[in-house]
Each structure stands twice: as C-alpha cells, then as structure tokens.
C-alpha cells in the first residue's frame, strides 16, 4: 500500500472489494470510501470520478475481446494493412482463447495465462487442441500486440473509454536466438531448388526484401537502366514497414532479365505466388527444421552481411530499417565476426 502521507488518493482492495484511500491532514489519519465493485475496470472508472468530483463520460461498454478484434480486422487490418495474413492468424488465436471476455477485464494475469496457453499448445487458431505444436515466444508477443492495437482502435472509434484499455504484459523475447541460414546453407538450399522457387529465393535473399514484396513484385518496379528495384509499388499505401529502393545485384541480374522477358503479365512471378509451402518443404528436406519460414532469408542476408564486415548503415539501408534496429536485431548474432567498415 502507498505511504499514508501520499498527496494523491489511491485504490486498494479490502477483501474482494475496491476502495479509494486518502490521507486527511486535518484529522491526521487515512480515510477510505468503498467503490462498490469487485471489477478492476469499474473500479478505475469510479476512481476517476472520485478524483474529478463528477461522473466520467462513458460507462463500461461491455465490448468483448472477440468483438473488438472483429472490428479491428474489418475496419483497419483489411483496409490499411498491405499484408493482412499474419494479423488474421493472430486474431484467430486471440479469439479462441479470450472468446467473450470483456475487453476491459483483460489484465496482466490474463495476458500471462494467454502466453502459457499458447506455449503449451492449448490454442491452435482453429478450435483444435494441438499440444505438441511449438509456438515461438516472439509469435505470442506479436499476437498480444495485435490485441493492444485492437483495443486502441476501439478507443479511437469511441467504443470504449481510455480507462477501459486493458493492461497487457508483453513477454520478453531474447533476440539473440533469432535464427538464420549461413551462406553455405543458403547455397545448399539454392542447389536443391529449381525453376520459379530458385529464382524467388535468389531475389528474396539478395534484396533482403520481405516475402510479400518479392511475391508481388511488378515489372514496373524494376529499372534496368539505373540498375535498381523499387520495393514500394506505385500507388500502394505506405506502411511502417518501409520498402526501400535496392540495387539489382550482379547475382540476380540475369534472373531479373529472364523473368522480365519470359513471365507473362505485369508481375515477375505468376499470381498468386504461394511460396510458403514449397519453401518450407525445401528447407525441411535439407534438415533445416525450425528455419523454414521464407522471412528467414531477410534475417540471413542481414546477418551474413554483418559477418562479412559490412557496416550497420549499409545493411540498414538495404533492409529499409534504422541502424539502431539492425544493431539490436542482428548485430549480436556473431559479434566476434563484426568489423565495421567506413561508409563512403
């Protein structure tokens, strides 16, 4: 409990009921008043009313987690997110666990239970129990950040008040364990694949681009005269995931020319370009279990460049990230190999 001489009233429990406490200087004693509720969200609202001396606009909305997630999916994810698949998967897992839980009742304890349930395989995103499925902590963290975003969206759309935004604890993720493929493993993967998949891997690896950027790459984004690729499609809404202009590296120049000439239509790869399954099977056939997500090529390119002594600045410029982000995310992967080169 806070010190008895605190200038600001505070909230605490007596049994299951919330009370507001304050120190009466004249009487030189601590006074209290019941808030008449056992619910944390209701207690926060009544505490705010006590502080301002009048009712706070907006009563508990009763908005459930599932309802908030559905609204967020319909009004934001499918409208503003270029690649919504990952968000949609996260929403399925969240809805399966929280169901009709009021959004305002989600707290640190419940978010910890969600983390444990996901790590134990108690939710699959499809209603089925898959106890052996291994879920990465970084995935669970991403899912909880999705719930936070949905809650903020609900507040912006005035479906809940600021006081009803849930208190969610995000699990700590050790970025030092971020997996990657060594240069030898990348070459082994390339030797084991052919056709469009081989070309896709080459372009994705050397450009360091995200899966969607390569899969939906249009011929109009490629400038052979200047020797560069603009990963931001013309007219496409820009997001926080920056899509830089990258060079056409010598290793992929012939592939670019061939696909520009031979692939019909506007895209470099036939649409839809469903690379996840073929890439995963190719990796697992080589024993690269746990490292079979196409996004690993981006991690691998950054890490291998740092191993080769490339500067944080140049790697950040290629990936469209800040140098600080590259340092935190990739720079520790093999620090004994990192030698900084001057940037000219």
* Residue 182 pLDDT: 92
Contact, 311 vs 283, CB < 8 A?
A: no
Q: Please state, rounded to an integer, the average pLDDT across all residues of the chain.
A: 83
pLDDT category of residue 1 using cuts at 50, 70 and 90: very low
Q: Copy the structure tokens of residue 256.
A: 């670019």
* Residue 148 pLDDT: 93
* Residue 294 pLDDT: 94
pLDDT category of residue 330 using cuts at 50, 70 and 90: low
> CA-to-CA distance for 25 and 140, rounded, in angstroms?
48
pLDDT category of residue 113 using cuts at 50, 70 and 90: very high
* Residue 46 pLDDT: 80
* Residue 77 pLDDT: 87
Whether the per-residue pLDDT at 52 is higher than 80: the answer is: no
Whether the per-residue pLDDT at 58 is higher than 90: the answer is: no
Which ranges of 99-224 would DSSP assign to H, the alpha helix?
A: 108-119, 137-156, 183-191, 195-207, 211-215
Closest CA to 260 of 234, 229, 233: 229
* Residue 342 pLDDT: 33
Q: What is the pLDDT averaged over residues 42-69?
A: 73
- Output the pTM of the full model: 0.56
What are 126-137's pLDDT values in tens digits? Answer: 555 444 455 788
Kindly write down the DSSP assignment for every residue of 40-107, as one continuous string.
HHHHHHHHHHHHHTSPPSS-----BHHHHHHHHIIIIIHHH-S--HHHHHHHHHHHHHHTT-BGGG--
pLDDT category of residue 82 using cuts at 50, 70 and 90: low
* Residue 242 pLDDT: 74
Closest CA to 61 of 162, 189, 177: 162
Share of the chain above pLDDT 70, in %: 82
Looking at per-residue pLDDT, the higher value among 80 and 120 belongs to: 120
* Residue 57 pLDDT: 45
Host H or E run for residue 315: helix 312-319
């Amino acid at each position: 409990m806070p010190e008895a001489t605190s200038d600001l009233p505070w909230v605490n429990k007596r049994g299951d009921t919330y009370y507001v406490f304050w120190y009466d200087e004249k009487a030189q004693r601590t006074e209290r008043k019941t808030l008449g509720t056992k619910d944390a969200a209701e207690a926060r609202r009544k505490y705010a009313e006590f502080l301002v001396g009048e009712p706070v606009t907006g009563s508990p909305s009763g908005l459930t987690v599932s309802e908030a997630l559905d609204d967020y999916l319909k009004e934001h994810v499918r409208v503003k997110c270029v690649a919504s698949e990952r968000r949609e998967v996260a929403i399925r897992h969240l809805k399966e666990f929280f169901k009709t839980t009021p959004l305002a009742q989600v707290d640190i304890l419940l978010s910890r239970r969600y983390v444990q349930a996901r790590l134990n395989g108690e939710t699959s995103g499809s209603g089925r129990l898959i106890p052996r499925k291994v879920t990465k902590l970084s995935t669970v963290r991403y899912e909880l950040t999705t719930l936070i975003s949905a809650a903020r969206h609900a507040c912006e759309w005035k479906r809940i008040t600021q006081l009803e935004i849930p208190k969610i604890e995000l699990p700590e993720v050790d970025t030092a364990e971020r997996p990657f493929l060594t240069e030898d493993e990348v070459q082994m993967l390339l030797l084991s694949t052919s056709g469009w998949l081989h070309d896709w891997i080459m372009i994705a690896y050397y450009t360091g681009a995200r899966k969607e950027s390569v899969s939906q790459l249009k011929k109009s984004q490629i400038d052979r005269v200047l020797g560069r690729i603009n990963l931001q499609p013309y007219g496409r809404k820009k997001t926080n995931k920056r899509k830089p202009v990258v060079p056409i590296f010598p290793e992929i120049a012939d592939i670019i020319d061939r696909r520009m000439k031979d692939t019909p239509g506007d895209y470099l790869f036939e649409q839809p370009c469903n690379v996840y399954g073929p890439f995963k099977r190719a990796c697992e056939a080589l024993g690269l279990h746990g490292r079979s997500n196409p996004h690993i090529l981006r991690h691998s390119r950054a890490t291998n460049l740092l191993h080769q002594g490339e500067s944080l600045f140049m790697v950040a410029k290629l990936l469209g990230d800040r140098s600080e982000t590259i340092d935190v995310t990739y720079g520790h992967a093999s620090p004994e190999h990192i030698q900084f080169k001057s940037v000219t």
